[in-house]
Every structure is written in C-alpha cells, then in structure tokens.
Amino acid sequence: MDHRDALPAEHRFGVIDIHMHPTLKTFMLGKNMMARHYPPGFFFPLTMRTDLDALLAGGVKAFFSTVYIVEKDFLTDVWPIRMVQRVLPRVRHVFSGDPFERAWECLDHQDECIRQINARRGPVLAVARSVEEMLEIIASGRIAVLLSVEGAHHLSGNLENLDKLHRRGVCHMIVPHLYPNEACWNVDAFPDDVNWLRRLGCFRQEIRLDSGLTDFGRALVERMFDLGIIVDVTHATPRCRKEVYDIQRGHAKRRPVIFSHVGLHALCAHPMNPTNDEIRTIADTGGVIGLIAMSYYLSKPIRKDGLNVILESIDHLIRCGGEDVVAFGSDFDGFTGPPPDFKSPRDYAVLRERLLKKYSEDQVEKFFSRNVLRVLREGWTPPVTASAPVAEVAQP
C-alpha cells in the first residue's frame, strides 16, 4: 500500500464522501449547519442532513461539498417552483442572474459559513485545495471540505469559467445534471413518486437517451482532463458516457472517470446506473463508483433495508470491477429520499460496523477513503495558486 493513499493512522476508517450538498440547504433555504437536525428516512427537502454534529458522529473526515444552482428550466417545467420563488426571496435570488455568478456567490457563502462555524465551535472545518492540504486538515482533527460543482450549466457556455473554478480550487465537476445544458443531455432523474406532479403538468422535459456530447461538451471534457478536474458522468445518457470514456482513452493524461452518486443497474435497472460493463470500464480508468443513499436508485422494487442493499452493491462492484472501484457518494441534502437506516452522515457509524464484520480492514479502508484518495491524486491537479480574485466573477 502506498502510504500517500491512506489517511493518518488515527483516522484510518474515516469517510471521504464524494457527493454532499450542504450549500443547497444553507444558500437556498437558509438552513443552519451548526444546529442539530433530525431528518427522517424518506424524502423531506425542508430538513438538513449534513449538519456538523452528524458529520462528526459518522466519522466523515472529508467530503465533496457540491455547489448546485438549480437550472432555470425548473421555472417552466415545474410550475409550483414559480410560486415558491415568488414568496421566498432566497429561492428567487438563486433563479436570478447568471449561473456562474451565482455559483461563485455560493462558494463565497460556503467560505463564510465555515468561518462562522469555526468561530463558534473552534477549528472544525477547512477547505482543502490540494490532496496534501486535505491530509493536513484531517491530521489536525478537522473535516476537510473539497470544492465540487454539479452541472456544466454553471459555466454559462464559457470554458474560461472552468479555468476560474479550477483556480479557486474546484477539484471535481459533474458534466450533466437534471436538464440539458450546453455540454450534453441527461437521463430522467426525477423519481416515480413525483408522478402526481407529472399529472399536473410538471416534469415533462424531453429525454434523449441516444444523445451524446455537444462540441462544447467534448471541448469541456478535454479541458477538464487537461487542467486536472475530475470528470463525473453521473446523470449522463449512456451514449454521452461512452463518448467520455472514448475521450479518456485517447487523452495523453489518462485521468480517472467517476460516477459520484449512483446505484447499480444490476440491482436497479435505471438508465443513470452503470451496467456491469461500465463498472469494469470505470475501474479500467482508475475511477470509482460512489454508492448513493437514495432508495429509488439502490433497488427495484424499493427496499427499506438500505444498508443491506449497500452491502449487496459493494459485493457486485467487487465482482465486476474489483475492490478498488468502491466508494460512497451519499447525495445527502440533494433533495433525495434516503433509506430509513442510512438517512444522514451519522449512519456511517453503523455502516462502518457492518463493513468491518464482513470485509477485511484493508478493504474497508479502501472503500471509505483510499480509493478516493487515489482518484484525487490521479485526477486532480491543483493550480499553483488555488484562489481567484472575486473581480473575476464580473467577467463570465
């Protein structure tokens, strides 16, 4: 084992979660990350799951804090959102203006939240802008926050904005999301339990599973590999994913490709979930597949024993791609419906016990952190100066 790909010994079974959304709740809904929340084990968007105490109780040592500014398509596709944004100034603000400017503002907001938390609770959180900085933060007993962006719509069709995010320290980006953007189309990610809204005329967007990357999308993926921003194909159509794999094979730097928050097609035949062949392909790139804490994507029919499904999913990942492909991307606070027994970062404590009873310590360490550390080392090249002047926001 390369010592560089392990957490400090005292944090050996700490978790690196590669997809969480605390800023979606703090920036958009004004939730308090310092307060303890009591989220239910089902879809309930008005609660918060990734509060500080939950992260500490679950042994989360680092997480990808994913910025997501909701697409303006919601206003035309989901008419109740139009009503909500009329009465809630925060929501109305998120929908206004340029997506890149709002994303930058959200990153500033997160910095301020971390400052306030540290002022109240002592030094407990810090943004990491390199792997070495992340390991130093963890070794000091703090939780490392890694910057991530979900959806190429945040770039506003301008590749220069990708460079600005890279200079700020963003390590990872999911290219598609819930609606088509300048780079590609998407799968239908809205669960069946919104069928009542479909009957009322919502979620009627066109889905084109046979569509691939646009010219902008191909240039974007190439640039991400060039810069060293991890490419994530979650939410992408099968054809789009194949085109990303082809670009990866032909690129000089051979960066890893990941799925950050999915289930598996073998257990839940949804177009977003990777097939057995794709699991092998992701493993061949050196990437990982982060298992989501969302019942809808974990199993069909939906089961309430989420941790059992997680263990079955790990077994399947190992059979198809080997133990180096396993990771966790919970999607906590991403407006998802988690299983009753895996509803917040606190439940990583129970999952840890279950894993250590079934797998070796070396395997559990890989699943929780070492596999992600490898991806970060191979896929992320931090800039020489991981920061960017705020003035750049005015130049999208």
pLDDT in tens, 14-52: 999 999 999 999 998 889 999 898 888 888 888 899 999
pLDDT of residue 4: 64
* Average pLDDT for 348-368: 97
For residue 197, CA distances in Å to 125, 225, 369 come to: 39, 39, 39
* Average pLDDT for 142-155: 98
Q: Which helix (H) or strand (E) holds 174?
A: strand 172-174
11 vs 106, more confident:
106
Decide if pLDDT at 384 tops 80.
no
pLDDT of residue 196: 79
Dig out the tokens for 180 from the structure.
């088509």
Alpha-carbon distance of 317 to 298, in angstroms, equals 13
pTM: 0.93
pLDDT of residue 231: 98
For 156: left if phi > 0, alpha if psi spans -120 to 50, otherwise beta; the answer is left
Q: 320 pLDDT band (50/70/90 cuts)?
A: very high
DSSP letter for 72, please: T
Tens of pLDDT, residue by residue over 170-201, are 999 999 999 999 999 999 988 877 777 888 88
Decide if pLDDT at 390 tops 70.
no
Decide if pLDDT at 392 tops 80.
no
Q: 293 with 339: CB under 8 angstroms?
A: yes
Q: Count the neighbouring beta carbons within 10 Å of the beta carbon of residue 204.
A: 10
Decide if pLDDT at 165 tops 90.
yes
pLDDT of residue 11: 85
For residue 290, CA distances in Å to 2, 193, 232, 314, 362 come to: 22, 23, 11, 10, 18
Average pLDDT, the chain: 92
Q: 396 pLDDT band (50/70/90 cuts)?
A: very low
pLDDT of residue 3: 54
Q: Count the neighbouring beta carbons within 10 Å of the beta carbon of residue 282.
A: 25
Q: Count the neighbouring beta carbons within 10 Å of the beta carbon of residue 184.
A: 29
Least confident of 26-35, 227-236, 381-390: 381-390
For 196: left if phi > 0, alpha if psi spans -120 to 50, otherwise beta; the answer is alpha
Q: Count the neighbouring beta carbons within 10 Å of the beta carbon of residue 41.
A: 18
pLDDT of residue 191: 85
Q: Which of 43-47, 344-348, 382-386 has the highest mean pLDDT?
A: 344-348
pLDDT of residue 29: 85
Alpha-carbon distance of 273 to 264, in angstroms, equals 5
pLDDT of residue 388: 44
User: What is the CA 49 to chain-centroid distance, rounded?
Assistant: 15
Dig out the tokens for 183 from the structure.
């780079």
Q: Is the peptide bond before 45 cis (omega within 30 degrees of 0)?
A: no
Q: 395 pLDDT band (50/70/90 cuts)?
A: very low
pLDDT of residue 253: 94
Q: Decide: residue 361, CB within 10 A, 0-12 exposed, 13-18 middle, 19+ buried.
A: exposed
pLDDT of residue 335: 87
For every residue of 272-327, which 3-state class applies, written as one string?
Answer: CCCCHHHHHHHHHHCCCEEECCCHHHHCCCCCCCHHHHHHHHHHHHHHHHCHHHEE
pLDDT of residue 385: 60
* Average pLDDT for 365-386: 92
DSSP state string for 183-232 = S--B---S-GGGHHHHHTT-S-----TT----HHHHHHHHHHHHHT-EEE
* Average pLDDT for 330-344: 94
pLDDT of residue 383: 87
- Residue % of the chain over a pLDDT of 70: 96
Q: 46 with 335: CB under 8 angstroms?
A: no
* Average pLDDT for 213-235: 98
Half-sphere exposure of 176 (CA within 13 A, CB side): 30
Decide if pLDDT at 133 tops 60.
yes
Alpha-carbon distance of 266 to 66, in angstroms, equals 27
Half-sphere exposure of 369 (CA within 13 A, CB side): 28
Q: What phi and psi, each to the nearest 5 degrees, are found at residue 197?
A: -75, -35
Residue-range domains of the chain with CATH: 3-394 (3.20.20.140)
